[in-house]
Structures are given as C-alpha cells and as structure tokens.
Structure 1
C-alpha cells in the first residue's frame, strides 16, 4: 500500500529576489487572500509594501485591522486609496481610442460605398 509523506523542499535559489531596500506594489491587496500573500512576501523578504485600494481605512474596520497587523509584523506599509472616476449620469464616457478611430472608420466606410 502506498504511503504519502512530505519531502524536504530545497529552494532553487539561496538568495531572495527581493530585499529590504525593495518595495512591492500590491493593487487591491488590503483584504482577503491577496493581503495574506502580500504580508507573507513582505515578512519573508523584508520588502516594504505599497498597497492600493478603493476603501477608506477610517471607514473600513477590516482594512484598518489588516494594515495594523502588517505594521505589527514589522512590515513598512503605505496605503493609497485609488479614486475611481465615474462619468456623470446620462453622459457616455469615451475612451481616447474611440475619438481617433470612429471618424476615420466612418469616412472609410463611406468611400467603400461610393
């Protein structure tokens, strides 16, 4: 009968790719599994964390607790709230590519039909 047993893990590299002088940028890593992965990475390597998110730590208790826990583990962490701009109601937001390609496409369509 086969028996499962753990084998020792030998790292491919003896040196970590990140160090204490590096900063890991982590968008949306303030909560959940991403926060846990970012914290583990920072603790293992000594790198600082730059975390981007939409929530406000003053209003979100889970976010504030995670940031405090990261700091308590000796990680230098900076949180920057991202601003998500939405167009005013009733107005369609156009991407820069739309402005460039639409008129050109319409003109070329007219030429083909003539």
Structure 2
C-alpha cells in the first residue's frame, strides 16, 4: 500500500498510544491528528464513518456519560454525527485511515490490517 496513513487520536488514550507505537515500529510515515486540537467537521466525520463501513451508532462510545443522555432509538445519523463532532469523547478511537480504508484500532493491533 502506498496511500498516506492518518491516525485520528486522543493523546491520553491508551489504545491511541498503542496504535501510535505500532505505527512507529512499522517505519511508515503517517500523520497524527489530535482531534481535540484540530476538531473534526461533520463532513470529515461522515467521510471517516463511510470509510469504516459502519454507522454512526457503531462509532459511538455508548458508555460515555454524554451518550447515556441520547435516545439512540430515535436519534438520526446526522444528529448523532453532530453530537460526536460537538463532543469528541463520544467517538470510538483511534481511527486510522489509509486511502479509502479505515479501521477503529481497538485493539491497537487492528492497525496492522492497514500496513
């Protein structure tokens, strides 16, 4: 694979740090995006979800306190994406993208599928 690798991550997340370590060990160049410093837009998050081949509900961290306030039976995909953009803690992480493919790297070893 020759497509650029990008990891969307939170520096304090242990899964993100583990994924970054695997990327470092691979010797491949990658871009790291701390989405707390560089917030995702609705369009960018929608693009990531599409590359993952998942729904917004699949990307939601359902155990987060802010997620418990959402009515997941009635909320639309668009509204859920907006909630995740507004509160990034609601997103599964890290998300690694290479070309038109993406993976949630929980566990971090999932990144190997993209290397």
The answer, yes or no, to whether TM exceeds 0.5 is: no
Whichever structure has more helix as a proportion of its residues is: 2
Q: TM-score range by the shorter chain?
A: under 0.3
Larger Rg: 1
Higher relative contact order (CA 8 A, sep 6+): 2
